[in-house]
Amino acid sequence: MILEKKKIVIIFFVCIFFLLGGGVFLSAARLDNLRKDYLDQADSLYLPDGNYLELLCLDHNGLVADLFWIKGAIYFGNHYRRKGFNYPWLYHILDLATTLDPHYYDVYWYGSSILPTVNQSNQLLKKGRKNFPLDWKYPEMIGFNYHFYLKDYLKAARYYEIASSLPGHPPYVPSLSGRFYQKAREIDSAIRVLKNFHTTTDREDLKKDFSKRIKQLLDIKMLTDKVELFKTKWGRPPGSLKELLKKGVVFELPEEPYGGYYIWDSDDKRVLSSASPK
């Protein structure tokens, strides 16, 4: 009889334990949700407009900009840890920091890499470009976003061309501008960018390499024109570039400067080289 009573008591306390434990768990989950809601609401409640904030800062804009940069880093970390990945107020925080201190280089550069959308990243980089007009990195990074994320090769080429006109840019910048212009079927623009760099650089090794690239593009432009002439005469594109020879549209096919050969890509409807520039 005593054993039966002990079993009942043990079962009773086990049930109480699980009930209390479940209640604590549910309460903790509820509190966590409330904390998240509070954090998100707090972000929206305590982020003023940058123009009004400037008036309140008096001569302490730089200090307050630092505080917003720190707030942005903490905000990003909290959302990342909670696997939010949305960061709805992150751009506004960074925009406030750069409004208070327009020359806050780190906010533009590092902030643009953690923003959740490409458009926001470009928006912040374009703001930075206005305040650092001679820094080639800003248009180069905007061009990268257009190329890598948005697949807009024409805009990518234009921003890389802007970067190639600024002091200190590395040789790959005009090279990529030419490449993206070619992808966008803007051969004349590609040739213009590469010729400009060929003229301005003092390095003979780069002059030699860019001469090959320019020659390749001029060949592609000439063959593209001949393909159009062939289509006008025979009402169809050629089966291959060798057909241009057979029909007398060209007397010879140009030598590809990188050791490859030129082809007519009927699927892509353009003249290409079998060899990529080195």
User: Does the pLDDT of residue 26 top 50, yes or no?
Assistant: no
Residue 100: the pLDDT is: 86
106 and 156 inside one domain: no
Domain limits at 90? 44-132
Confidence of residue 69 (pLDDT cuts 50, 70, 90): confident
The CATH number for 156's domain is 1.25.40
Residue 38: the pLDDT is: 44
Residue 96: the pLDDT is: 87
3-state DSSP percent of the chain in helix, strand and coil, to 5? 70, 5, 25
As a whole-number percent, the residues of the chain with pLDDT over 90 amount to: 59
Q: Cβ atoms within 10 A of the Cβ of 98, count?
A: 23
Residue 22: the pLDDT is: 47
Q: Burial letters for 167-204: b for 16+ Cβ neighbours within 10 Å, e otherwise?
A: eebeeebbbbbbbbbbbbebbebbbebbbbbbeeeeee
Q: What is the average pLDDT across 137-145? A: 97
Q: Burial letters for 127-151: b for 16+ Cβ neighbours within 10 Å, e otherwise?
A: bbbeebeebbbbbbbbbbbbbeeee
60 and 122 inside one domain: yes
Domain end, chosen from 90, 114, 132, is at 132
Q: At 40, which amino acid appears?
A: D
Residue 193: the pLDDT is: 96
160 and 114 inside one domain: no
**How many Å apart are CA 177 and CA 124, to the nearest integer?**
22
Confidence of residue 108 (pLDDT cuts 50, 70, 90): very high
**How many Å apart are CA 182 and CA 157, to the nearest integer?**
9
User: Does the pLDDT of residue 277 top 70, yes or no?
Assistant: no
Q: With respect to residue 26, please indicate whether it lies within any of the assigned structural domains.
A: no
177 and 163 inside one domain: yes
103 and 81 inside one domain: yes
**How many Å apart are CA 231 and CA 243, to the nearest integer?**
12
Residues in a beta bridge with 271: 264
68 and 115 inside one domain: yes
Q: With respect to residue 116, please indicate whether it lies within any of the assigned structural domains.
A: yes
Domain end, chosen from 132, 148, 170, is at 132
Q: With respect to residue 68, please indicate whether it lies within any of the assigned structural domains.
A: yes
Q: With respect to residue 269, please indicate whether it lies within any of the assigned structural domains.
A: no
Per residue in 227-265, pLDDT tens? 999 999 999 999 999 999 999 999 999 999 999 999 999
User: Does the pLDDT of residue 86 top 50, yes or no?
Assistant: yes
94 and 59 inside one domain: yes
Is residue 121 exposed (0-12), middle (13-18) or buried (19+ Cβ within 10 Å)? buried
Q: What is the average pLDDT across 152-166? A: 97
Q: With respect to residue 194, please indicate whether it lies within any of the assigned structural domains.
A: yes
Residue 45: the pLDDT is: 43
User: Residue 238 region, left (φ>0) first, then alpha (ψ -120 to 50), else beta?
Assistant: beta
Q: With respect to residue 114, please indicate whether it lies within any of the assigned structural domains.
A: yes
The total of structural domains in the chain comes to 2
**How many Å apart are CA 264 and CA 223, to the nearest integer?**
9
Residue 49: the pLDDT is: 56
Element (H, E) at 216: helix 204-234
Q: With respect to residue 159, please indicate whether it lies within any of the assigned structural domains.
A: yes
* pTM for the model: 0.77
Per residue in 160-174, pLDDT tens? 999 999 999 999 999
Q: Compute the mean pLDDT over every residue in the chain, rounded to the nearest whole number.
A: 82
Domain end, chosen from 173, 201, 229, is at 201
| Least confident among 61-70, 114-123, 209-218 | 61-70
Confidence of residue 70 (pLDDT cuts 50, 70, 90): confident
User: Does the pLDDT of residue 27 top 50, yes or no?
Assistant: no
Residue 120: the pLDDT is: 94
How would DSSP label each residue in 53-101?
A: HHHHHTT-HHHHHHHHHHHHHHHHHHHHHTT----TTHHHHHHHHHHH-
